[in-house]
Structure 1
């Protein structure tokens, strides 16, 4: 039997909508066959993101919790938005999933591509660490290399918007526009070469903050096609696919803020039934992945 593999697909700001807010939920009203099928037939686990801490769940503390298994809001006494502060960075640098799985002798990787200008700024600006995302801190502290636009050209990385459009238009990088299904094929090849692969998509959270249905539909449709490509090309006999978010947002466009809604944890493929039974909150993701490999 081939070695077991995991793909952790982290989608920022994607909660389970409430029935009374259905008219404001582009996940329900959009043309999203793959996502809607997963939410109905993928046996999603409604997963707590509040973690017993008062207030609305936020990105920095929620993502730290997902990627470490530590209840970050409880440690710092609040939910923290944006980038991780010093206290959260210390948790990430010691407890992140990349480090834990490397200690088990596993091949781990972050499939996201970064702009080389961003990486140069990290090297030259000592304060740049204050604007590093949770996943970036985790990747670097585990001694992993960041993929760049050169990897996008070689089809050995996927950009955070899936299509490379932002890399091309904002950063003026000479990279090809990809379809979501082409990006899914690239991700599939990365998964085959590693035991644990992480990919982060945060356009959903940005769309939720904008309260713009047209933009939300576009973002979700690209994600839907990306997921369709993943489901079509992956060998689930030896691969566990995990979909998780840090908090709700895009499922309720009546507000520009995050929501208190639970998030869907979807597990498909090898070991998925047991994995679902282990997850009640976003704090359970990392320890459940560790258990899967042990």
Structure 2
């Protein structure tokens, strides 16, 4: 059986919770039907405030309530965008990459990280077991997101060999007005290449964070270039997904919180988030925590609810 490709979207709420005229009104012949056939999950977990990437992604990666691991005991706190010491401990102990690596699985984070990304980590913690510090003085928040942190903590490299590198923008320019730099056909070919790589892996993850980057450019009235870029980005997710599915890949798609679906504001939203897939049982999850548990279950992993990491 081919391995699973996880498209981990950042900052994309469920289309049913989006306002009229949203990015979801782009032409998405593969993505939209898959999303609508899947589940819409709660990302708030009953905790006040706007869901954040740090705790949201930690929920997906561990299948545990990372929100209630933060803040005052019993109350919880949405935290992000990067994992601090509390979430780092949770990810080292319980994140899917660490658990699969310990079981001897072959997995990879497909994102392409340019030299500037590694330079930006100077002064922050790495994802390694020692959480190594640079020679700089003074505490600094680590800049690694939950996905690269978890892979590094599991002893796995960034920019791994044998996996086609996936650019964060999926071929759009990084800065306003976010012009097309790579045609959609090339993004579809990238999906095909990922599907081929999945035949020799158990799990390949794509940390698709650019949607959240665009979502934070929202305001009222919504700038037309931002809306165009948001729709163009989802069209590229659609093209990537098309290449994957046409090549027979098993795919799961998730999101950590809402943002891009409502460009009338630049903040995160309380929208439900999508959970969809092909080639795995989604079950009947209601929250992002249960969604993370469903992904772990696809690999035969079960949670040890008595572990100290959950307390």
Normalising by structure 2, we get a TM-score of 0.78
Q: Please state if 1:142 is matched with 2:149.
A: no
Contact 1:247–1:260 at 8 Å: present in 2 too?
yes
CA distance in 2, matches of 1:257, 1:123: 28
SS in structure 2 of the partner of residue 14 of structure 1: coil
SS in structure 2 of the partner of residue 243 of structure 1: strand
Decide which of 31, 46, 50 is 2:27's aligned counterpart. 31
Q: How many residues align?
A: 269
**Relative to 1, partners in 2 of residues 1:51 and 1:99: Cα closer, same or farther, differing over 3 Å?**
same
* Matched residue, 1:254: 264
* Matched residue, 1:233: 247
CA distance in 2, matches of 1:121, 1:255: 28
**Relative to 1, partners in 2 of residues 1:164 and 1:56: Cα closer, same or farther, differing over 3 Å?**
closer
Normalising by structure 1, we get a TM-score of 0.82
**Relative to 1, partners in 2 of residues 1:49 and 1:189: Cα closer, same or farther, differing over 3 Å?**
same
Q: Structure 2 regions of 5+ residues with no counterpart?
A: 71-75, 125-132, 135-139, 176-180, 219-225, 301-311
Q: Structure 1 regions of 5+ residues with no counterpart?
A: 168-175
Say what the alpha-carbon RMSD is for the aligned residues. 2.6
**Relative to 1, partners in 2 of residues 1:164 and 1:105: Cα closer, same or farther, differing over 3 Å?**
farther
Q: Please state if 1:282 is matched with 2:262.
A: no
Contact 2:163–2:197 at 8 Å: present in 1 too?
no
Contact 2:187–2:239 at 8 Å: present in 1 too?
yes
**Relative to 1, partners in 2 of residues 1:70 and 1:160: Cα closer, same or farther, differing over 3 Å?**
same
Decide which of 206, 214, 222 is 1:207's aligned counterpart. 214
Instruction: After TM superposition, give the deviation of residue 201 of structure 1 in Å.
Output: 0.8
SS in structure 1 of the partner of residue 269 of structure 2: coil
Contact 1:83–1:133 at 8 Å: present in 2 too?
yes
CA distance in 2, matches of 1:9, 1:226: 10
CA distance in 2, matches of 1:122, 1:199: 20
CA distance in 1, matches of 2:204, 2:121: 23
- Deviations, residues 173-232 of structure 1 (Å, cap 9, x unaligned): xxx957211221221122112011111111211222212212212211211211111121
SS in structure 1 of the partner of residue 294 of structure 2: helix
| Larger relative helix fraction | 1
CA distance in 2, matches of 1:216, 1:124: 32
* Matched residue, 1:188: 195
Instruction: After TM superposition, give the deviation of residue 116 of structure 1 in Å.
Output: 2.8
CA distance in 1, matches of 2:200, 2:116: 27
Instruction: After TM superposition, give the deviation of residue 160 of structure 1 in Å.
Output: 1.8
**Relative to 1, partners in 2 of residues 1:129 and 1:80: Cα closer, same or farther, differing over 3 Å?**
closer
CA distance in 1, matches of 2:200, 2:163: 14
- Deviations, residues 134-168 of structure 1 (Å, cap 9, x unaligned): 111101000001107xx6xx87322222238559x
Report the more deviating stretch, 177-186 or 54-63: 177-186
SS in structure 2 of the partner of residue 7 of structure 1: strand
Contact 2:52–2:79 at 8 Å: present in 1 too?
yes
Report the more deviating stretch, 64-73 or 279-288: 279-288
Instruction: After TM superposition, give the deviation of residue 129 of structure 1 in Å.
Output: 6.7
**Relative to 1, partners in 2 of residues 1:177 and 1:30: Cα closer, same or farther, differing over 3 Å?**
closer
Contact 1:24–1:252 at 8 Å: present in 2 too?
no
* Matched residue, 2:273: 263
